[in-house]
Amino acid sequence: MSPLVPVTTHRSGTHLPLLELLPDNSPVSWVRGNEGLVGWGIYARTTVTGRDRFEKAREWWHQQLETFSIDNAVHASGTGPVLFTSFSFDRNNESVLIIPKVIVGQKNAESWITWIGDSQQPQLVDTPLSISQGEITYSDGSISTTEWTERVAEAIKRIDESAVDKVVLARDLRGTSTIDIDARAILKKLALEYPSTWTFSVDGLVGATPELLLRLSRGMVTSRVLAGTIPKTGDDEKDLALAASLARSSKDLEEHEYAVRSVAEALEPFCTSTNVPESPFVLHLANVMHLATDVTGALIESKVRVDAFSLLQSLHPSAAVCGTPRNVAFDIIDEIEGMDRGRYAGPVGWIDAKGDGELGIALRSGQILGREIRIFAGCGIVSGSDPEKELEESAAKMLAMRSALQL
């Protein structure tokens, strides 16, 4: 029998600028307002596919945990060994699981470091990194904008003629840089420009999501639902008026209601009670505003522990990234979208040894491959949608990544 691998967690005792600590250009990250987790080095990595990919991920993670000897002096959520995950939207694509060698975490006034192996505690170097960025040129993604608006029109036709209420269609844009693209530069700029989002990076998928699919901690679960969007102008007075119009928009409220109902119904079997606010609030980001609702619940106490994997299996895909009813909308996406989403619009984040975790939906994101990046955005299509306005909305959502890639 092989000896157990030591995993050590110590308090760091100082407030850390998390995104300034990353020593290599392919980090893992889940950070919001300088709270969260970052990691580097790969202790173990695998991929899973199939309808049962969440179960396979749990099985692999538990197998890894059995090989560890854990010395955790902090005992908070996100301490000890942590699995970073980036699941595919479609079950037929690869989902990526990574256990970093070094993880640094921070929440409230507490910060900590976890490392795997017999080595001494790694030294954290707090020095602002000088990261080069190249010049980006853009080209059409999987299909042209004209083709995409035609497919939006087709989705509206399907909605008007069938039992489907909402279909989410996504598109992509290809960017090519003069040098290899560094995820760290993107993360730092996204965190600066979109401080209320969760900046994430897992295996080249990098972005800033405003949508928290799942937070599970000590038996309490939270999911933030976003659906219904309007671009911002940058003029405060105009944007306040736009926010008010968004909050009254029957089309956007209808889209939002579908998404909230989808999440509440997914959580209900696992909870003794759920709390769903009667009306959404307007979430203001740098480039757009969204209708938002935080759904919360208290998990049922049972002999079989409900963990993040269980909830992900039920929550994904939500109406916010797929549609309503999910199975009908998914089939329409598969038939007419014309794009392989990969891990875009899939769950991304982390899960700890207790099964707690934080995972968002991989939105406002791009997939890096050397000097190339695919940038993604999606729109919820309902009966009252207009193809040209949906194209404008998708372009507004892409601004976050395009801005982060600028020199």
Shortest CA distance to 116 belongs to which of 76, 59, 68, 66?
68
Whether the CB-CB separation of 90 and 126 falls below 8 Å is answered with no
pTM comes to: 0.93
Other C-beta atoms lying within 10 Å of the C-beta of residue 72? 17
Whether the CB-CB separation of 340 and 181 falls below 8 Å is answered with no
pLDDT above 70 coverage of the chain, percent: 98
130 — phi, psi (to 5°)? -95, 105
The set of residues, in sequence order, having a beta carbon less than 8 Å from that of 47 and lying 6+ positions away, is: 94, 95, 96, 97
Q: Is the pLDDT of residue 31 over 90?
A: yes
Q: Is the pLDDT of residue 248 over 60?
A: yes
Mean local confidence (pLDDT), 357-361:
97
* pLDDT classification of 285: cutoffs 50, 70, 90: confident
Shortest CA distance to 216 belongs to which of 132, 138, 314?
314
Give dist(CA 201, CA 373) in Å, integer: 13
Q: Are strands 35-48 and 95-107 parallel, antiparallel or unpaired?
A: antiparallel
Shortest CA distance to 262 belongs to which of 216, 329, 218, 320?
320
* pLDDT classification of 126: cutoffs 50, 70, 90: low
Other C-beta atoms lying within 10 Å of the C-beta of residue 6? 14
pLDDT digits (tens, 9 = 90+) for 134-159: 899 999 999 999 999 999 999 999 99
- Identify the pLDDT of residue 251: 86
Instruction: Determine the 3-state secondary structure of 386 from DSSP.
Output: coil
In 67-108, alpha helices (H): none
Q: Is the pLDDT of residue 185 over 60?
A: yes
Give dist(CA 308, CA 345) in Å, integer: 17
Positive/negative CA dihedral, 70, 72, 75, 79 = negative
Mean local confidence (pLDDT), 170-191:
95
- Identify the pLDDT of residue 129: 57
Q: Is the pLDDT of residue 13 over 80?
A: no
Shortest CA distance to 217 belongs to which of 90, 108, 125, 102?
108
In the chain, the amino acid numbered 135 is E
- Identify the pLDDT of residue 125: 75
Structural domains of the chain, with CATH: 5-404 (3.60.120.10)
Give dist(CA 322, CA 363) in Å, integer: 13
The set of residues, in sequence order, having a beta carbon less than 8 Å from that of 151 and lying 6+ positions away, is: 143, 169, 336, 337, 338
pLDDT digits (tens, 9 = 90+) for 211-245: 999 999 989 999 999 988 898 988 999 999 999 99
- Identify the pLDDT of residue 288: 87
Whether the CB-CB separation of 65 and 127 falls below 8 Å is answered with no
pLDDT digits (tens, 9 = 90+) for 362-402: 999 999 999 999 999 999 999 889 999 999 999 999 999 99
